[in-house]
Amino acid sequence: MNIMRALLGGLLVAPTAAWYVDVHNQIGFMAEKFLNKHATSVIQDILEPQYNGSIGRAAAWADAYAHTHEGRYSYNWHFIDTEDDPPSNCTLNYAEDCSSKGCVVSAIQNQTNILKGCIEDVYNGSLRGGINMICSYALKWVVHFIGDITQPLHASGLALGGNRFNVTFGNITTNLHSVWDGHIVYLDANVTQFSNASIAPFFEKLVSRIYHKDDFVEPRHEWLSCSDPSTPLTCALHWAHESNMWNCRYVYSQIHNNVDLASSGYAVGAFPIVELQISKAALRLGTWLNKLVGEVMFRPRNQKILKNDHISPRL
């Protein structure tokens, strides 16, 4: 049996939601490598005890929650459906594209602002041991959505973010969204799944590249050009625009009818893009949390937290 076929055969049955559960968790484990000791300590007081202080273990929670009766209100927070036409035109208009029920941009903004107050509660001693679910949820949403917003098809409305764009991958019919959620990175890493308990070797290598090399398809110094959690709307929009542009630059521009994307060259061409976007998500997430904690730690004790961005009504 063809090795690629065997590798992929069991992978194409996962639901289309976001980066797959294990990929989301791996982004969280990567981000932990960039956390300072202050952020690590605060996270331990905000997350419920079952996560053992690990955002990697908590990173995929938001997808499961969005598919429950209780959490279905948060479903729209995972994406922004652009009204553009890739590959000829990729544009994002926040006022028009963000649903009245919310989107990934407004969710990052709002949950970041909630999380600021939670960090303040940790420092004033009123929050310990993950007892405040509003705060734990806010942290888990921020962790998850900073991952979601780097997946290009979470910033695309065409075919419901590729969910209705049928393709063949590894001789199996699936959809384009699933291909970008996990199948490309599985093939890149030559695995069928990643650990949900600790960082996997493939992602360890990405962390090492972030620290020691600048060999990604976009310069590393540009990834944090917007990384100030005091302006979460501005930064989330910047990140969404970046992801949206990949739909014209590669995601839709390289597809040809009646080809297998796993063997046609499409997947191989996508490897550096997926590696870039995952690495961006991890570095941005770690930096975002460090800065949020630092904003509370190092401000004068009599100064209240200021939320500079306009709070979006899209909730």
Tell me: the pLDDT tens digits for 64-96?
A: 999 999 999 999 999 999 999 999 999 999 999
CATH number, domain containing residue 126? 1.10.575.10
- 272-288 pLDDT, tens digit per residue, is 999 999 999 999 999 99
Residue 63: pLDDT over 50: yes
Whether 306 is covered by a domain: the verdict is no
Mean of pLDDT over the chain: 91
- 199-238 pLDDT, tens digit per residue, is 999 999 999 999 999 999 999 999 999 999 999 999 999 9
pTM of the predicted model as reported, rounded to 2 decimal places = 0.90
In this structure, what token pair is assigned to residue 170?
């590894």
Q: Could you give the percent of the chain with pLDDT greater than 90? A: 86
Whether 309 is covered by a domain: the verdict is no
pLDDT at 122: 97
Per-residue confidence band for 303, with pLDDT thresholds at 50, 70 and 90: low
Whether 166 is covered by a domain: the verdict is yes
pLDDT at 257: 80
pLDDT at 314: 44
| CA 296 – CA 303 distance, rounded (Å) | 10
Residue-range definition of the domain harbouring residue 164: 3-297
DSSP 193-230: ---SSS--HHHHHHHHHHHH---SSS-GGGTTSS--TT
Domain total for the chain? Answer: 1
Whether 308 is covered by a domain: the verdict is no
Whether 74 is covered by a domain: the verdict is yes
**Cα 141 to chain center, whole Å?**
10
pLDDT at 1: 35
Whether 37 is covered by a domain: the verdict is yes
Whether 313 is covered by a domain: the verdict is no
pLDDT at 258: 86
Whether 312 is covered by a domain: the verdict is no
Query: % helix / strand / coil in the chain, to the nearest 5?
Result: 55, 5, 40
**Mean predicted confidence (pLDDT) in 22-29:** 98
| CA 132 – CA 2 distance, rounded (Å) | 51
